[in-house]
Amino acid sequence: MAAAVPALALLAGCVGPETAIPECEAGPRLIILAQAVPSATMVPCIGEMPVGWSFASLDVEDGVARFWLDSDRAGLRALEVTLTARCVTSGTTAVDSDEEGAQRRQRLDSLAPRFVGTTFDLFTGGCVRYRYELTSGAHIGLHEELHDAVSLFPRRDLAADIRNDLDDDLDA
């Protein structure tokens, strides 16, 4: 299946940003992310885009998948979401997670003049890193919005949807 990732990644680069959004439903974009990191039991996806946020781009390689979100208040690529098999989380603090089956850790690098940091969702076989740089002052609301926008989609649900809808196997 690793051979399919580069071909599907090329496909992702050939479509407009509005069609490349990895929405939280079984579909080509979510499949591409899942195939990039076969060990990951969860895949990051866009649940509901908050007002003022937009999808910027998607980049998929063997072993890593990432996408960026722009904000009308925090700027271009204000959020980078990266899926890998593992993350280095030294210097982080455990925080409450709203994602079932994931541990969340956070590291703040700067509070002013910009709110800069990284949040990690750790789960079996994978890690999602959220790297953000937000406008100070409005950062609390923006930080909540970005975590509301991005969710984790269980790989088993994606695999079941593909099996039922496409009569295919995600990991074949």
Q: Which domains does the chain have, with CATH numbers?
A: 4-166 (3.40.1000)
Kind plus residue range of the DSSP H or E element containing 48: none
CB 143 within 8 A of CB 155: no
pTM value is 0.83
Under the banding of pLDDT at 50, 70 and 90, the label for residue 118 is very high
pLDDT of residue 136: 62
**Euclidean distance between the first and the last CA atom of the chain, given in angstroms as a whole number:** 6
pLDDT tens-digit series, residues 7-28: 333 344 444 444 578 999 888 8
Pairing status of strand 126-135 against strand 114-123: antiparallel
The C-alpha angle with vertex 21 and arms to 136 and 83, in degrees rounded to 5, equals 70
pLDDT of residue 142: 79
- Given a cut of 70, whether residue 106 has pLDDT beyond it is yes
Average pLDDT, the chain: 83
What whole-number distance in Å separates Cα of residue 98 and Cα of residue 80?
A: 19
